[in-house]
Amino acid sequence: MPLLKPEEVSAKLGVTKPALFGIRRRDESFPAPVRVSPRVLRWHEADIDNWLEKQKETKTNVKNK
């Protein structure tokens, strides 16, 4: 399972790196990162993909109501 750097996660989400960390703080459903070293975080690509899919489903369900 590939590990993504914060820059890669930001690009996948279409947000800036500071916005990524804001999402991480505000959204409890956002996947927890893997701490590679004390200052290095990575995310499992599948976790990010699953989270994105759930976000799309949630928005679709809200629009259909």
| Tens digits of residue pLDDT in 11-23 | 999 999 999 999 9
- Token pair in block for residue 7: 């820059």
d(CA 6, CA 20): 8
pLDDT, mean of residues 1-27: 96
- Give the residue carrying structure tokens 């200052």: 39
Query: What is the reported pLDDT for 1?
Result: 76
Query: What is the reported pLDDT for 59?
Result: 77
d(CA 20, CA 17): 5
Query: What is the reported pLDDT for 64?
Result: 65
**Cα 3 from chain centroid (whole Å):** 12
Is a pLDDT exceeding 80 seen at residue 33? yes
More confident residue, 59 or 10: 10
